[in-house]
Structure 1
């Protein structure tokens, strides 16, 4: 039987049977967790009702970046560019020059690896108003190194003029979309797509571009996190509370520009282990950004500084929950590491 381009046997996981998975569209939600379908696509389609300047483009991946919802609502403002990421971003740059606000979608690996030079020279250098919403950031697919954007932050953080956002859940994505459109200049969004977990609404959270926010306070540990790892950090904090370990969670959705003032204020509070948790390689991401801020200001956390992130290697393919446990991104893995460090 011929396989589709989105299905193939997974890596033979050590110590277990060969598994198969719909890894391209695997949900990040735990069983029973609340989710919301395609928050990016719905939010953009709704915003476009009020903003006739908004257009959408995709490189043959509208269904897998949730842009198909926008395309259905606004077919005259949707452009299917085919499997040509360089063309996708060059066209978006041209539309921005003509006064439109283009939202260009593809996978994060294709933006970071295939189209970097075009993003750099056609968009960032010209400071054009292009919004890049790129799915499958970090380890959010089990499809292997060809689709796992484990190093996209390291690639894009050094690019001048570029704002970088790593949202936690569906609640935040719905707020991020209008904030991206309101911001003048290029934006790179690490997009969570499909059935996206929903939890920050329980904390009364409101997204503000460029701002880090304390979601939960605690006296023993400070977890500085972004993206889906804020969800895992909150889950870990609840689990550690049973051991009378009090964990604070500082959510940092804007990776660039980094909210250094808030990070420094939280890190200066004494008596806490500081842990940075991110869905990205430990090389060049949020962890090293926070470490650099603390070092430049001469801050040395009383109980130490640690990183939770992906290793500096190409990762296995396989079932996503298995991979998250293997590489330390699962809630259970976060709990274990913090207990060890304390």
Structure 2
């Protein structure tokens, strides 16, 4: 006999939307659990504002227990060690095993680490968030020059948020800054970084660390003691070992119904999933939430599933560290304080929607 009818693994944006829907509207039948490594779900969109000193840590996180209680879902605070797709079994690092008829994965990814020789340089990854915040608070007790590796939206926002928190800051991109975004946003980001005295180096993939030195291939590009890793998401190792069909990068390949291509009783959404037309972005994970909620309900009621259709365009709002933001939409770009206020409103609305008392 299985422990649960359904286990939600991970408290990503899509699962938060599912829990909110169940708490406010209708919950599927059966016994359901959420497995999360932390008792809070951090909202990544507010991290730059937190680091810039515009928000507190409490402003940026959702407590899971009240939400799970309202949705009548068991909350299990534990780290996942492995999953068996064939048995639909979740093994926790504490040694406990959980079985379910259905699984849903919204576990995100992890930051790619660098090859390192020696311990003269300290590396801090932006995920997991709780661990990153603890490390950053320790660094802030004695600010030193900082290098950020990662030229995506996260790297740009972090550089702009931290530029006045350290004596000197450098940002390294493997290719073009904000690759995949509009030319206008690219130029505005370069201007904002220059204004904040951030040293930008594009087309400079950092390959390794030797002592206190960063190398791009055989070129020494930076020396210092602290590096912040904000590179793109890398698949969690246990996904590739689960028996699920994964793409070349190790992310779970899913159908438009958000079901695994190889194991129909397992769903995967957000950064841990691979579906054509879907970026690794919280915007897409949020939009997957309503379809996932419907399909999980349908799974437990033996009803037809819906297809998720990714939006063709998505709004980009990048915080500039001073309360403003850079905006990009359908090839258009803009910047200013008004867009920062809009971003704050959207971010804080997300937190308010998912907060439950009790």
TM-score, with length taken from structure 2: 0.28
Q: Relative to total residues, which structure has the larger strand share, 1 or 2?
A: 2
Q: Relative to total residues, which structure has the larger helix share, 1 or 2?
A: 1
Structure with more relative contact order (C-alpha pairs < 8 Å, separation 6 or more):
2
Q: Which has the larger radius of gyration?
A: 2
TM-score, with length taken from structure 1: 0.29
